[in-house]
Amino acid sequence: MLKFTKMEGIGNDYIYVDAINQRIENPSELAKKISDRHFGVGSDGLILISESDIADFKMNIYNPDGSQAEMCGNGIRCVGKFVYDKGFTDKTDITIETLAGIKTLELTIENDKVSLVKVDMGEPILEADKIPVVNFNEEIKDGIKFASVNMDLPSFNDKVRFTCVSMGNPHAICFIDDVKKIEIEKVGSVIENSSYFPNRTNVEFIDIVSNHEINMRVWERGVGETLACGTGACASVVASILNGYTERDVVVNLLGGKLEIEWKLEDNHVYLKGPARTIFEGEIDLD
Under the phi-then-psi rule, with left for phi > 0, alpha for psi from -120 to 50, and beta for the rest, what region is 189? alpha
| H/E segment holding residue 230 | helix 230-242
CA distance 91 to 73: 20
Number of residues that this document lists for the chain: 287
Reported as type and span, the H/E element at residue 170 is: strand 170-175
Separate counts of helices (H) and strands (E) for the chain? 4, 19
Nearest-10 crossing angle of helices 230-242, 73-85: 140
Q: How far apart are CA 261 and CA 249, in angstroms?
A: 6
Active-site residue, from 78, 164, 174, 229: 229
State the catalytic residue, choosing from 72, 164, 174, 234: 72
Residue 229: active-site member? yes
Rounded-to-integer distance, Cα 109 and Cα 92, Å: 8
How many C-alpha atoms does 247 have within 13 Å on its Cβ side?
8
Distance CA 105, CA 271 (A): 10
CA distance 247 to 225: 27
Active site residue 234: no
Q: Which of 74, 5, 62 is nearest to 31 (CA)?
A: 62
Q: What is the DSSP letter of 89?
A: -
Q: Give the amino acid at 95.
A: T
Active site residues: 72, 229
